[in-house]
Amino acid sequence: MSKKEIALVKVIKGDITDVAHLIRTAKEHHSTRIIHMAALLSIDSSANPALAVQINCGGTANILETARILRVEKVIYASSNTVFGPAEKYEGEYIPNDAPHYPSTIYGACKSFIERLAGHYFNEYGVDGVGLRFPVVYGMGHKGGVSALITEELMVKPALGKPGRVPCGDDTLNWLYVEDAARGVVMASRRATTKTRCFNIDGEICPVVLAANYVRKIVPDADITLLPGSTGFTGKYETSRIREEIGYRPQWPLEKGIEQVISAVRKLNNWQQKS
């Protein structure tokens, strides 16, 4: 975003669990679309299930209720590929968009619930809520959860000459650069009502070991340790529906995205290569 565009953004502090504040704010600013990304992410959700339900499920209910009361045109909300659960639950190589859910984490279970909650608000009240099931989202500014931890250890620390210890080193992940994620959200917010109510969204499928090699091409002396283990989730999801109904296709190859992250981290930290 340019400085001029950033200047147009108005920041209002609030709490996703405070429905009165949400309704008052949306009404005051004549909101016609709501993009709902607030959540307690995977690691924190596992540590505090009660708070996860309050924020992830209750907060989404408040957003949908706000949209119902004010007749908001469109709600875009963040779901997750963790709704599908372990890869061995599915027969095909790629998990279909409408595959049944077998979440194995509190976070995944919350996301599965809000998909059904959004479906109820659409069927009963006509609230046009559309979800995007994000995989591993990487890039500057992403906080919390496994995706942010991988970004920090694999890209941010090596960019600054610090050792990185990367979890899930045996995995093959679906890497979605943050700019592609944002573009997908904006595209979905501008579409008329779609047949599909929640979409798999993708980036590039790549083993963690190859991603580490991309980092080493840019930072030859990077001290990266890939820790053994796996998330247990496949990185392969069928995405024809988001192509056909939204028009989304990823534009950022993983190697290019990693290069962008490292460059941005160094610029932000005024980092200079040691001679």
User: For the chain, which domains are there?
Assistant: 14-268 (3.40.50.720)
Contacts by 35-40, CB closer than 8 A, 24 or more apart:
35/75, 35/76, 35/77, 35/185, 35/189, 36/60, 36/63, 36/75, 36/76, 36/77, 36/78, 37/77, 37/78, 37/185, 39/78, 39/110, 40/107, 40/144
| Average of per-residue pLDDT values in the chain | 94
Q: Is there a contact between 89 and 109 (Cβ–Cβ < 8 Å)?
A: no
First-to-last CA distance in the chain? 34
In terms of pLDDT, which residue wins out, 148 or 70?
70
**pLDDT of 275:** 41
pTM above 0.75, yes or no: yes
As a whole number, mean pLDDT of residues 80-97 equals 93
pLDDT at residue 138 tops 90:
yes
pLDDT at residue 11 tops 70:
yes
As a whole number, mean pLDDT of residues 200-213 equals 97
